[in-house]
Amino acid sequence: MGWLRPGRTVRACWGETVYHQGVVEVVMPQAMVLWIRETGLGTRKMIDLEEYTVRLC
């Protein structure tokens, strides 16, 4: 999870479908979550790393 750090643009996918895309703001590896600022919407979204597959854009 070292490549997940603030400032990186990522996609949160479930299967092959992209559900969220944005810039990483906070990474919390102990809780298996990260917070992103969604592209286009500007809203903050918590991504559960056990639920989604996260990929770099």
**Digit-coded pLDDT (tens) for 21-49:** 999 999 999 999 999 999 999 999 999 99
**0.85 exceeded by pTM:** yes
Extents of the domains making up the chain? 9-56
Q: What are φ and ψ of residue 30, in 5° steps?
A: -65, -30
- Which alpha helices (DSSP H) does the chain contain, by range? none
User: 46-50, long-range: CB within 8 Å, 24+ apart, which pairs?
Assistant: 47/12, 47/20, 49/1
Q: What angle do CA 27, 33, 34 make, to 5 degrees?
A: 40
